[in-house]
Amino acid sequence: MVTHSEELLELRTAVRADLALLAAGDRIVIACSGGADSIALAYALSLEAPKMALALSAITIDHGLQENSAEVASACATFLSTLNIPTEIINVVVGTQGGLEAAARDARYGALAAHAKSVGAVAVYLAHSLDDQAESVLLGLARGSGPRSIAGMSGVSGIYRRPALGIRRTCLRSVAESLGHIFDDPMNVDTHFLRVKIRTQLIPALDEALGGGVPQALARTALLIQDDLAALDALAGEHFAQNPDLEVARLSAQPKAVRTRVLRLALLGAGLDGGLLTYEHLDRGDQLLVDWHGQGEISLPGGLSLARKSGRLILSPLGVGKP
């Protein structure tokens, strides 16, 4: 088993810095598939968590998408036991909504959240790497849905923590290979999936054409955009707190980036599913503020509408808020 390497040192340093933000006695969980990235992160956590008096356990999700998925999950749990990490295997049913990748992700995160709650964990550790971040940026760019979609993943998002987000996938694989246990998921090389095409075709082509450094540049772009988004979200939050009734005169005086964020906050606060909100919804809502010429209500998901009435924007059931 590996004892020292530059790659392990880099990973342990990142893990140690993240764990330092938790309190002694906290319970944490590593989501481990048996792949190189999560095996490497689990190993680093097994070395660092005990030093900080943190209770570490693991969860392995069996999506049931390959014939040998049960054997892979069992082998992963067996290996983790050699690292003194108790592991629970959870089977999930993967639906079809949004495609196989999205459905598997939804099932996985649902199981992770439920497990964390059941064991009282304050954090779930995920092994996303710098390369995963670069892929996420390009996926978001392809969707064309604004800066939030190309901001990638956050190092900390709720209970989820990603300490390896600044580390290359090759580094994690080097650590895992030295441990002698890796399961390569065939879905990770199946080019039917868009993310795999980006990973195996687009990024290598861009890297070659541009002289290298593309994954690092994309990941750096995500960090910069996250900073900008945080600032804009804070400004929008302050305005919404001062103008909860969405008075047109006050809101229309703000920059569009703030206006549309205030609208988003208002719609989410009214119970609208953020996953159903599109650029078109927010843009049409913004037109009620700055391009008003008597247009009627805007239809929104969930049977809701947004209309301008008496100098305010009114959210109501479809057909009720007409001026």
pLDDT in tens, 183-209: 877 777 778 888 899 999 999 999 999
The answer on 252 and 118 residing in a single domain is no
Which H/E stretch holds residue 107? Answer: helix 100-119
- Residue 179 corresponds to which amino acid? L
The answer on 165 and 271 residing in a single domain is no
Question: In percent, how much of the chain has pLDDT > 70?
Answer: 97
This prediction has a pTM of: 0.88
Residue 11's domain comprises 6-210
The answer on 110 and 69 residing in a single domain is yes
Mean pLDDT for 24-52 is: 96
**Is residue 126 classed as helix, strand or coil in its secondary structure?**
coil
- Answer yes or no: are the C-beta atoms of 280 and 145 closer than 8 Å: no
- Does residue 25 have a pLDDT over 50? yes
- For residue 268, is it within any domain? yes
Helix extents (H) in the chain? 6-19, 36-48, 69-82, 100-119, 130-143, 169-179, 194-197, 203-210, 214-242, 248-251, 256-269, 279-290
Cα distance between residue 289 and residue 277, in whole Å: 18
pLDDT in tens, 161-188: 999 999 999 999 999 999 987 787 777 7
The CATH number of the domain holding residue 191 is 3.40.50.620
Cα distance between residue 197 and residue 189, in whole Å: 8
Write down the pLDDT at residue 94: 84
- For residue 234, is it within any domain? no
- For residue 227, is it within any domain? no
The CATH number of the domain holding residue 303 is 3.30.465.60
Per the prediction, the chain carries an average pLDDT of: 91
Write down the pLDDT at residue 284: 95
- For residue 170, is it within any domain? yes
Write down the pLDDT at residue 3: 53
Structure confidence at residue 241 as a pLDDT band (50, 70, 90): very high
Domain count, the chain: 2
The answer on 50 and 187 residing in a single domain is yes
The answer on 144 and 258 residing in a single domain is no
Task: Give the β-pairing of 156-157 and 298-300.
Answer: unpaired
- Reduce the secondary structure of 77-91 to three states and give it as a string: HHHHHHCCCCEEEEE
- Answer yes or no: are the C-beta atoms of 40 and 175 closer than 8 Å: yes
- For residue 225, is it within any domain? no
The answer on 271 and 164 residing in a single domain is no
Write down the pLDDT at residue 1: 55
The answer on 273 and 206 residing in a single domain is no
- CA dist 125 to 116, 206, 244, Å? 11, 30, 36
Cα distance between residue 295 and residue 203, in whole Å: 45
Write down the pLDDT at residue 323: 47
The answer on 260 and 120 residing in a single domain is no
- Does residue 272 have a pLDDT over 60? yes
Write down the pLDDT at residue 60: 94
- For residue 25, is it within any domain? yes
Listed in sequence order, the residues at least 6 apart from 158 whose beta carbon sits closer than 8 Å to its beta carbon are none
The answer on 128 and 37 residing in a single domain is yes
- Does residue 264 have a pLDDT over 50? yes
Structure confidence at residue 45 as a pLDDT band (50, 70, 90): very high
Mean pLDDT for 51-59 is: 97
Q: Which of 210, 230, 262 is the last residue of a domain?
A: 210
- Cα 186 to chain centroid distance, Å, stands at 22
* Nearest Cα residue to 159 out of 107, 129, 118: 118
Q: Which of 164, 193, 210 is the last residue of a domain?
A: 210
| Burial classification of residue 6, based on how many CB atoms lie within 10 Å of its CB (0-12 exposed, 13-18 middle, 19 or more buried) | exposed
| Burial classification of residue 219, based on how many CB atoms lie within 10 Å of its CB (0-12 exposed, 13-18 middle, 19 or more buried) | buried
Cα distance between residue 313 and residue 247, in whole Å: 7
The answer on 280 and 196 residing in a single domain is no
**Is residue 182 classed as helix, strand or coil in its secondary structure?**
coil
Q: Which of 210, 233, 257 is the last residue of a domain?
A: 210
pLDDT in tens, 74-130: 999 999 999 999 999 998 888 877 787 788 888 999 999 999 999 999 999 999 999
The answer on 151 and 64 residing in a single domain is yes
The answer on 255 and 121 residing in a single domain is no
Listed in sequence order, the residues at least 6 apart from 196 whose beta carbon sits closer than 8 Å to its beta carbon are 187, 188, 189, 190
- For residue 140, is it within any domain? yes
- For residue 197, is it within any domain? yes
Cα distance between residue 81 and residue 75, in whole Å: 10
